[in-house]
Structure 1
């Protein structure tokens, strides 16, 4: 769990491409409302959050249900971010994207809303590559 033993990312020449692909896939999954694919993207984060709290199985089930409900609402993405920058944390082991253009400066590059709610939702998440893998995952 966590990121302390994750791979260092800040010197990876292919990282930007991988992060962009992860964000594009995340966006596509939410646009389509694909519950199973969404759960596969956030499963580790759900498990880690549940493990950090008492009665973890009950909390894990509730978190999973909340995520399934969340993914079921198809989203439209608004405020396109035309220029995003990689931002590193945790000694270069954790990365996220942050908008650097004038309209959305400082926000996550994915901002959406659903037909049920006109309130925009900023999709901020942090990625790492756990030790022993070469695949980006969302960290809680």
Structure 2
């Protein structure tokens, strides 16, 4: 069985009393398990926003509250989706010189500990890119 690589993103994550998370909001190429990590990030952010709403007595389905979840997760998801799409495209090209450059870049990243730690931390959702902090 073959599953086509797909990349899809909802125009909006929220509406009154509705919030899309995980694959309902976005689908990515099945590379390195990042789809599930994005979904976990969505669920965590939404639960935090709902908790904040409950703490102040808000209607947890109010669009203005749910938009805070969307404002946090949409940019982070778009960045990871672009990175995964780039990886998929780079790895789908079989061209000798590109293969050498690609292998050298990934080997260098593997041996440069600070870079490797940051990549792993970002990919696991523990850290956000400076643009989104």
Shared fold (TM-score, shorter chain, > 0.5): no
| Largest Rg, 1 or 2 | 2
Greater relative contact order (Cα < 8 A, sep 6+): 1
| TM-score normalised per structure 1 | 0.25
- Between structures 1 and 2, the one with greater helix share: 2
